[in-house]
Amino acid sequence: MIFQTATHGLKYDLLLRTFSLQPKKLQPIMDDTSWSTEFAWQELPSPCFVVDAARLAANARLLAEIRARSGCRILLALKGFSMFSSFDVLRPHLDGVCASSPHEARLGREEFNKEVQAFAAAYSEADIRELSGLCDTIIFNSFNQMERFRPYLDAVPRPIRRGLRVNPECSTAATALYDPCASGSRLGITRAEFHPDRLAGISGLHFHCLCEQDADALEVTLAAFEKKFGEFLDSLSWVNFGGGHHITRPGYDVERLVRLVTEFRDRHPGLTVYLEPGEAVALNTGVLMATVLDIVHNGLDIAILDTSAETHMPDVLAMPYRPRIVGAGEPGEYPHLYRLGGVSCLAGDVIGDYAFPRPLAPGDRLLFLDMAHYSMVKTTTFNGVQLPAIVLGDSRNGGLRVVRRFGYADFKSRL
């Protein structure tokens, strides 16, 4: 979607209709074009992240249905989505949060105020001291760490469950960067390094091997996990299946997920099963709105935006992937082709090549789809680039609330 300024000689409503009706070759997602009419975009600061409470609630209700049908517990992975102004929408449907650091654990305790689990590749003494006052469960990545901090946790007056992350050595992730089971991975204890005689005080095991995958990948991973570690499960009280489950993606095999969890619980009576989705909680619930600042030409037209792949959506460069834009298409799909570039000094700060039905011009606003998860938590102030404002909307009534604007103090305070 583009919102063009009046000086371009095109009426806003005509442009909007043109974009909404154009066929697209991209894989459709739920209500992608409806973003263009649900909110008063012209009133918002640019750039900004906008999360829709209605879409977020729909995801949460699906997760709650899976909880009810399978008997599992579901935690929000804060590493994927930490927009605490939206927690009132999620809290009634989820069991708590999982954290990767003391900061996330504190956010979960203060703002979600339900169960808090933590896992990190390693902890410092200061980490454990802080986490012990925040967490219900702390999961260790090695026996050495668990035993090093055992005396400290034993002295804490309230009970804190302890777990170990294991590595089933079963790779299903398509991208090596996101594969915890890759050769030489630092994440999880392999069967060869697993010592049953050192399990005293451990109440559960955790594995996290998926990345944006369907339940078929979980089925393969679960079989590998049980083959390697199943003999130890009857002495435990819980197992965490980790994240990476793309549960709320259209077409995800919900029935298979429910069956896998239910059958696992039948095989191991008394074990509580946890899932900890991050991306699935916020999938397709938010956009990043940006504005065209300039158009230059170097072999093709290049639109420079007030956003940046490097600073505001780093996974575009890291994965890499090409985000979708409401009303835009693949090169050749529409007559006007532009390379969209970021405002930072990085030469490779390029979001991708997109075709539009109408020419772009400074002042046009673009909506990048599916930017609620990971993009928001990974933003940086490289080059002193302005961080996007954060907006909570509700498409059921068109409501918009700017919950945070960032300025110079935010940049300076980090340095």
Cis amide prior to 320 (ω within 30 degrees): yes
CATH second-level architecture of 2-47+286-371+386-413?
Beta Barrel (2.40)
Q: Specify the pLDDT at position 174.
A: 81
Bridge partners for 49 per DSSP: 288, 390
pLDDT in tens, 68-117: 999 999 999 999 999 999 999 999 999 999 999 999 999 999 999 999 99
The band of 6, judged by pLDDT with boundaries at 50, 70 and 90, is: very low
The CATH class, in words, for 54-281 is: alpha beta
Average pLDDT, the chain: 92
Q: List all residues 6 or more positions away from 377 whose beta carbon is below 8 Å from its beta carbon.
A: 78, 79, 80, 81, 82
pLDDT in tens, 250-306: 999 999 999 999 999 999 999 999 999 999 999 999 999 999 999 999 999 999 999
> CA 115, CA 98: separation in Å to the nearest integer?
8
Query: Between 130 and 20, whose confidence is greater?
Result: 130
Share of the chain above pLDDT 90, in %: 89
Q: Which of 264, 271, 263, 209 is nearest to 239 (CA)?
A: 271
The radius of gyration computed from the CA coordinates of the chain, to the nearest angstrom, equals 23
Please tell me the least confidently modeled range out of 2-6, 135-139, 311-315: 2-6
Q: Specify the pLDDT at position 2.
A: 59
pLDDT in tens, 348-362: 999 999 999 999 999
Would you list the domain boundaries of the chain?
Answer: 2-47+286-371+386-413, 54-281
> CA 78, CA 37: separation in Å to the nearest integer?
30
pLDDT in tens, 358-386: 999 999 999 999 999 999 999 999 999 99
Q: Specify the pLDDT at position 173.
A: 86
Given a cut of 50, is residue 161 above it in pLDDT? yes
pLDDT in tens, 27-41: 323 347 789 889 999
Q: How many residues does the chain have?
A: 415
- 3-state SS class at 174: coil
Amino acid in the structure at residue 26: L
